[in-house]
Amino acid sequence: MSFDLHSFDLHSLAPIAIAAGFFVFMRIGLPRLMAWGVPFANPQTLKDLMDGGRDVVVIDVRTPGEYSGDLGHIPGALNLGYSELSNALKENGAALAAYQDAPVFVTCRTQNRSPRAAKLLKNAGLNNVQILNGGMARWKREGLPRETR
């Protein structure tokens, strides 16, 4: 069986192009859409702030098993899943005033869950919320310090 380039038309490419576009949207577009108004920060930016002695808050929204698993977690990170975070904001929202302008970084495994949590924090009145671009997968890939428990 031979491949005839002349019999190959745009109609044959349409399903492939649609599938590829959907995949790209789900991996890149959807998290950014969910985070509307919340910027993404490179891992090195967070590391530099931590190394410079800057007080930062890191919230890891993964499950406890993921938090203590192979990828580990950023030293000093708080492990609060989305529902725990949502409940904590409802119960203790007034306590956030002290962190209103503090740098808050939100992470998960690959940045798919963190945009939703970051948006929740921003809507609760925090002004300096950022999403860790690439999540813990990228943090580990870049060889940045991690803890495991």
Strands 40-41 and 129-132: parallel
Tell whether 147 is covered by a domain: no
CB atoms within 10 A of CB 86: 15
Tell whether 136 is covered by a domain: yes
Tell whether 128 is covered by a domain: yes
Residues 146 and 66: beta-carbon distance below 8 Å? no
Tell whether 47 is covered by a domain: yes
- Kindly report the pTM of this predicted structure: 0.77
CATH for 18: 3.40.250.10
Q: What is the pLDDT of residue 55?
A: 93
Tell whether 104 is covered by a domain: yes
How would residue 114 be classed by pLDDT, with cut points 50, 70 and 90?
very high
Q: In this predicted model, what pLDDT tens digit does every residue of 1-43 receive, in sequence order?
A: 565 555 556 666 666 666 666 555 555 555 555 555 899 999 9
Tell whether 146 is covered by a domain: no
Question: Which residues does 31 contact at the CB level (< 8 Å), separation at least 6?
Answer: 111, 112, 114, 115, 131
Q: In this predicted model, what pLDDT tens digit does every residue of 37-72 receive, in sequence order?
A: 899 999 999 999 999 999 999 999 999 999 999 999
Count structural domains, the chain: 1
